[in-house]
Chains A and B, each alone.
Chain A
Amino acid sequence: MTGTPPPLTDDAGTGLRADRVSRTAGGALVLDGVTLAPRPGTVTGLLGPNGSGKSTLLRVLAGVLTPDTGVVTLGGDPLGTVPRRALARRVAVVEQHADTQVDLTVADAVRLGRVPHRRAWSPGTAADEEAVRSALARTGLTDRAHRTCGTLSGGQRQRVQIARALAQEPRLLLLDEPTNHLDIQHQIDLLDLVGGLRLTCVVALHDLNLAAMHCDHLVVLRAGRVVAAGPPRDVLTARLVADVYGVRATVTHPDPDGRPHIRFLGTTSTHH
């Protein structure tokens, strides 16, 4: 489990690929030789305790942070050579908690997704409006298009962020713990939505059972290193949960499709 994990299926043609990426922050190694190549059209879940490097990895994949060593490529080109706007037309990001003080309507917020498609001074085109309309429809927000973002519930606000990301018409969607602050119904709702988008998605998650339910692939980080990668039934074992999270658990496979279910029993620490 501590050895180098096998890289996921490579997709050098069009996809995003991180190759032995490392990044330090404040002198500490936050990412340590991470290799990741999400398979097109699938949902890859990033797991790991707080501080294991999930957010940093997503920021490196989004090109917001540059890796200290290693390289992230998009369709074979290093991210550093892809212009920012071109990158934003192919890779969209949904943050953990997007907040604004601006009184934006839902439609305004979703229109921001067209920023990378528009030049300075140019008015919006029919394609822009069509992309916004379709993004609103896919996220079920059409009826709320002129509500102010501030009047929406947390789950709806996250939907707005996903709609905005869809308006970018990306091939790849990066989501950083999008279900934080949501109740369980909205968590499942949101991940169902993400799974149904038929985009390549990389989503950082905390809840192992939600990850098992909604992800095609899982990558588990600990202290900036990939300690396991593969389909949920191979990755989520009692041993891994104990090793990575320090929690005793039993793992069963009640579903016919083999998706595991984790039942937590307590921490592995000997102190009580």
Chain B
Amino acid sequence: MTGSGTGPETAAPAGTERAAGTGPATGTEPVARTTGKGAGRGRALPSPALPPLAGAAGAVLLCVSVALAVTVGPADIRVADAWTVVASHLGGEPSGLSAIREGIVWDLRLPRTLLAAVCGAGLAVCGAVMQSLLRNPLADPFVLGVSSGASTGAVAVVVLGAGGGLVSVTGGAFLGALCSFALVLLLSHSLGGSTDRVVLAGVAAMQLFSALTSFVVMTAADAETTRGVLFWLLGSLSGASWTDVAVCAAVLAGALLVCGGHARTLDAFAFGEDAAAALGVSVARTRLVLLTVTALLTAVLVSSAGAIGFVGLVLPHAVRALAGPGHARLLPLSALAGAVFLVWADTLARTVLDPQEVPVGVVTSLVGVPAFVLVLYRTRSGR
């Protein structure tokens, strides 16, 4: 990691997407370490990193990232232009830009960038919650089969015309995700309900729905549809609309509230479910509530942006390594890190092969796979 520790504000303007992704946490690391050591000798207990500062720095970084990302692209738009457009839409004076440029900012880049932020935040939070709840470092938002179910639903609508035109692709994906999640819950419950059963049931559902998707695509789709489906399967924010942003942001806000309220409960799962129960946690209820909330959030995100992998798997690990395992800090910081990461990943995805677009899932995975290997390596050497 870059570890200059001079603060995220100075890092941000120069930031590539990678520096931006690790920025907020990198900034807090040296401070956290020093605090821990200094406190050990005196009366004060070692207390974890600095949540308000890290959180504030992350929020600033996110705003800067969004503002910068809006200006990146073939049409030359400056931060000031974007700002006047936003101001005019919020009831201020007319921006004075041409209709086309104003459209590029308000109808294309801004919703797309915001959806990237919301999706990144949501996926990272889901991943953090899943990993703790299921006590599995490789759990991610898709471990409950949600993404593969969504894919099957979307493919059923696009290729087979299911729903007779009444159901949109988004709607089909959402229904598919719910079906898959219901199957996983049912399976894991009948298998005994322990966390490893949930993971196994999720893997089973994932395989089943992936096979169904492939089967439908191979047998019924023409080349053009296949390409469209593939793009969606790998994740893409190109269709972002303000409706998507509003729906996803609302669900994200709700999920953050629920998960945040369970932060200490999640901490209590560190030594397993019996230990959590002995600490006064009602394990079965907590698991059902949090699985349902994260599955719903994932379903909504996947319906809007496709199955964007690796954000949920890798970012919580990175944040945990830098800010400690306490969920009161982990959840908000994961959300911020995920948001910043995906904003830059998507910016890269839409510009790197301009005018061609790379599915954002490809970008996140190209960055994510090396990080994933690092996580595996860490878990191995830690055993």
Using a CB–CB distance below 8 Å, which chain A residues touch chain B? 59, 62-64, 83-89, 91-93, 95, 98-105, 107-109, 111-113, 115-116, 118, 120-121, 129, 132-133, 136, 143, 145-146, 150, 168
- Please tell me which one of the listed residues A100, A104, A115 contacts residue B280 in the complex, with CB atoms under 8 A apart: A115
Q: List chain B residues, Cβ under 8 A from A92.
A: 278
User: Within 8 Å CB of A116, what residues of B?
Assistant: 279-280
Establish whether residues A84 and B270, one from each chain, have CB atoms under 8 Å apart when the complex forms: no
User: Given A101-B135, A118-B264, A120-B261: A88 and B326 within 8 A (CB)?
Assistant: no
Known: A95-B274, A98-B272. 15 other contacts (CB 8 A): A63-B277, A85-B280, A88-B278, A93-B274, A95-B275, A100-B271, A100-B272, A102-B325, A104-B270, A105-B46, A107-B46, A115-B280, A120-B261, A146-B39, A146-B40
Alpha-carbon distance A116/B48, docked complex (angstroms)? 20
User: Total interface residues on B, using CB and 8 Å?
Assistant: 38
Given contacts A88-B278, A88-B279, A120-B262, contact A112 B325 (CB under 8 A): no
Judge whether B281 and A115 touch: CB under 8 Å: yes
In the assembled complex, the Cα of A178 lies from the Cα of B46 at a distance in Å of 27
Tell me if B382 counts as interface (CB < 8 A to partner A).
yes
Tell me which of B132, B275, B280, B321 contacts A84 (CB under 8 A).
Answer: B280
Closest to B132 in A: A102
B189 contacts the other chain (CB 8 A): no
B324 in the interface (beta carbon within 8 A) = yes
B282 interface residue (CB < 8 Å to A): yes
Contact A84 B282, beta carbon cutoff 8 Å: yes
Which of B278, B281, B320, B321 gathers the greatest number of chain A CB atoms within 10 Å?
A: B278
At the interface, yes or no: B263 with Cβ under 8 Å from chain A? yes
Alpha-carbon gap, A63 to B267, bound state (A): 20
Considering the chains assembled together, what is the distance between the CA atoms of A103 and B271 in angstroms? Answer: 11
List of B residues within 8 angstroms of A121 by Cβ: 260-261
B279 proximity list for chain A (CB < 8 A): 88, 112-113, 115-116, 168
1/0 per residue, CB under 8 A from A, across B39-60: the answer is 1100101111000000000000
Contacts of A145 in B (CB 8 A): 40, 45-46
The 8 A CB mask of B264-302 against A (1 = contact, 0 = none) is 110110111011011111100000000000000000000
Contacts of A98 in B (CB 8 A): 271-272, 275
User: What 0/1 pattern do residues 315 to 359 of B give for CB contact below 8 A with A?
Assistant: 000001100111000000000000000000000000000000000
Given A118-B264, A120-B263: A93 and B40 within 8 A (CB)?
no
Chain B residues whose CB sits within 8 angstroms of the CB of A85 once the complex forms: 280
Closest to B33 in A: A146
* CA gap between A129 and B48 in the complex, in Å: 13
Q: Are A109 and B270 in contact (CB under 8 A)?
A: yes
